[in-house]
Amino acid sequence: MLPEPTPQNNSSFTNRLSAFQSRWDAVSVRLVAALTAAMGFINVLSSTMPALRERFAILEQFSPLEVTRGSRLATTLAGFALLLLSSNLWRRKQVAWLLTIAVLIASAFSHLLKGLDYEEATIAILLAVFIFSLRFHFHARSDAPSMQQGIRVLISATLFTLAYGTLGFYLLDRHFKAHFEFIPALIRTLAMFTQFTDPSLEPVTRFGRYFVDSIYLIAVVTFGYGLFMLVRPVLIRQPATAEARKRAREIVEAHGRASLARMTLFDDKSYFFSAGGTLIAYAVKGRVALALGDPIGAEEDARASISEFKTFCAGNDWDPCFYQTRPDYLPIYKEAGFKFFSIGEEAIVDLSAFTLEGKAGKEFRNVANRLGKLGHRVEFFEPPLNDKLLNELKTVSDEWLTMTRGSEMRFSLGWFNDDYVRNSGVAAARAAEGHISAFANIVPEYQHNEVSLDLMRRKHQIENGTMDFLFASLFEWAKQKGYATFSLGLSGLSGIGEKSDDPAVEKVLRLLTDSLSRFYNFKGLHAFKEKFHPMWEPRYLVYSESANVPAVTAALIRAHSGDNFLWEYLK
């Protein structure tokens, strides 16, 4: 007798079945996209081939020559449209699904009218039926306001192009071989989009040729823009509501266990809440939804929350990725179909091993003693900070930004926001003259017995060793407060591509480190953190497909530096 299935076996079978179904769905969608692109090539190629003589003779008995010419052009345009739509089918766009079926049906008729090409027409109809049968796979929404604007643009473009062409032919007929009245001018404008050539439209001057070309240029640009708006991904137009932010804060305070937990509460984030109450904080740049860190919530809900977020992103035509994840959930990401590679290491100081005593603490002890004799000191301030102190810190921050020729970074870092800094703990180094020369704000990690810092800023002219003095004092303070560890944050591109079995993308990033250092001092920052002898823990970028890595990289730059980062850098 066979053993009865156990709940564990049933669950395993269900997971395998679900994984198989997910893979099959993905294969079906990609097959449809590939077949649509192939049909586009067939259309373009077919429109350049002469019709078979026997079929053309039959067609001449029922269809005027102008219709045949127009159908040949329509076949070409349908081919280009199918090529454009195929990429949107790959992304499961609802609008692309509907437009593709419409174009395939129109394409079938154009194949018949241009040369009784029933083979191509049959393929187009069969493909339309196949795509229709998979309608439930195409669920990615477009941005509703953009769609409305796209429809208005298409209608306006049609009317404007007709008016522009009609008035142009009517007023500028001296530049052509024929004389146009108003109605013939309208007919000739329409003829431009239904025939490859028309002898009466042949210009006799350079300006006439420019005018004809301008009609096509206006039509291509406006119709292309309209199509782009129709398939645009959902845009985040409104910030998270006060209710969502309140709920997010409650979850972070109850489950936050990482140095990034506080950063999820900044106002540049939107929020996704899983059915199990897990929080994923994200920002959308282009078609990429950047989640900051791992999901925050109960560990048993991690698998479900990642899967739900992936489905949520697919419905909005977003490509999901997770930035600065820990190693803990990597098997779950992999199970959900994601890939990952290391982007650097987080420096974590073991406070139990840190001391200013003996040989181990000699370097920092000497610095502290020297600066102390010169009248320097480090002060700690509990929130909320008063206005006078906040203004002093703002002066230091502004000087630091000017010195680094940079602007405030965001997303995984904080920026000098009055409310944020006012409600943070701060360690400030005071010079002998009494002014603040450097400071760092202290960030809680809620349910993790660790503390970290975010803003680390100083004046241009400071006493040598001031930052070492500040950090040594921070570690001593945290140790006295009972914290186990202190996070110094991510050291970007640290420790990547060093092993033979590391992913190729890590090895490429390692080779690019020197070039990237022009924009950010990765090596200098790593060396500064290394002097505190931290433990190095890897952090990862989790993404869906290798082909999306360039888009994800661009999205990360935009999220951290702003959408106008290139212009700001060049100024």
Model confidence over 283-322: pLDDT tens digits?
999 899 999 999 999 999 999 999 999 999 988 889 999 9
Last residue of a domain, one of 310, 335, 360: 335
Domain containing 127 equals 15-137
Q: What's the pLDDT tens digit per position in 55-101?
A: 555 555 554 444 444 456 667 778 888 988 898 888 888 888 999 99
CB atoms within 10 A of CB 359: 8
Q: What's the pLDDT tens digit per position in 438-450?
A: 999 999 899 999 9
Q: What's the pLDDT tens digit per position in 495-523?
A: 777 777 777 777 776 666 555 555 556 67
**Residue 289: DSSP 8-state:** E
Q: Comparing 21-35, 204-218, 408-422, which segment has the lowest mean pLDDT?
A: 204-218
pLDDT mean over 275-281? 96
- pLDDT for 452 equals 95
- Residue 538 forms part of a structural domain: yes
Same domain, 422 and 358: yes
571 band by pLDDT with thresholds 50, 70 and 90: very low
23 band by pLDDT with thresholds 50, 70 and 90: confident
567 band by pLDDT with thresholds 50, 70 and 90: very low
Last residue of a domain, one of 277, 303, 335: 335
**pLDDT greater than 60 at residue 195:** no
- pLDDT for 139 equals 79
- Residue 43 forms part of a structural domain: yes
- Residue 351 forms part of a structural domain: yes
Same domain, 405 and 548: yes
Same domain, 258 and 190: no
Whether 96 contacts 40, CB under 8 Å = no
Number of domains in the chain: 4
- Residue 3 forms part of a structural domain: no
Same domain, 520 and 445: yes
| pTM reported for the whole predicted model | 0.76
Query: Percentage of the chain surpassing pLDDT 70?
Result: 84
Whether 69 contacts 196, CB under 8 Å = yes
Give the CA count within 13 Å in the CB-facing half-sphere of 421: 22
- Residue 236 forms part of a structural domain: no
CATH of the domain at 367: 3.40.630.30
Same domain, 323 and 463: no
Q: What's the pLDDT tens digit per position in 515-560?
A: 555 555 667 788 888 988 899 999 999 999 888 888 998 999 889 8
Same domain, 401 and 280: no
Same domain, 209 and 246: no
Q: Residue 208 and residue 193: Cα distance in Å, rounded?
A: 17
**pLDDT greater than 50 at residue 455:** yes
**pLDDT greater than 80 at residue 191:** no
Which single residue is written with the structure tokens 């920026």?
A: 415
Same domain, 197 and 305: no
- pLDDT for 196 equals 45
Quickly list DSSP for 77-115.
Answer: HHHHHHHHHHHHHHTTBHHHHHHHHHHHHHHHHHHHHHH
Q: Which residues pair with 489 in a beta bridge?
A: 347
Same domain, 170 and 26: no
Same domain, 440 and 465: yes
Same domain, 103 and 163: no
Average pLDDT of the chain to the nearest whole number: 83
**pLDDT greater than 80 at residue 414:** yes
- Residue 155 forms part of a structural domain: yes
CB atoms within 10 A of CB 29: 18
- Residue 421 forms part of a structural domain: yes
Same domain, 360 and 286: no
Last residue of a domain, one of 335, 368, 398: 335
- Residue 2 forms part of a structural domain: no
